[in-house]
Amino acid sequence: MLTGIGLTIQLLVLSGALGTALAIVLLLMRISGRWYLAAPTMVYIYVFRGTPILVQIFIIYYGLPQLEFIRESILWPVLREPYGCAIVALTLNTGAYVSEILRGGILGVDRGLKEAGAALGLSTRHRFVYITSPIAIRLCLPAYSNDVVSLMKSTALASTITLVDMMGIARTIVAETYAPYEVFLSLMFIYLIITWIIQRSFGWIEKRMSRHVRSEA
Task: Give dist(CA 145, CA 137) in Å, integer.
Answer: 12
The burial of 50, by beta-carbon neighbours within 10 Å (0-12 exposed, 13-18 middle, 19 or more buried), is given as exposed
Q: What is the 3-state composition of the chain as percent helix, strand, coil, each rounded to the nearest 5?
A: 85, 0, 15
Give the pLDDT confidence score for residue 111 in this predicted structure: 85
Give the pLDDT confidence score for residue 216 in this predicted structure: 52
Positive or negative: CA dihedral 97, 100, 104, 106: positive
**Entry pTM:** 0.92
Q: What sections of 31-81 are H helices per DSSP?
A: 35-50, 53-58, 68-71, 76-79
Positive or negative: CA dihedral 45, 48, 51, 52: negative
Q: With beta carbons less than 8 A apart as the criterion, state whether 30 and 43 touch.
A: no
Domains of the chain: 2-216 (1.10.3720.10)
DSSP class of residue 164 equals: -
Mean pLDDT (10-residue bins), the chain, 217 residues: 87 98 96 93 98 97 95 94 97 98 92 85 86 90 96 96 92 91 94 96 89 56
**CA 146, chain centre distance (Å):** 10
**CA 22, chain centre distance (Å):** 9
Radius of gyration of the chain (CA): 20
Q: With beta carbons less than 8 A apart as the criterion, state whether 123 and 97 touch.
A: no
Give the pLDDT confidence score for residue 158 in this predicted structure: 95
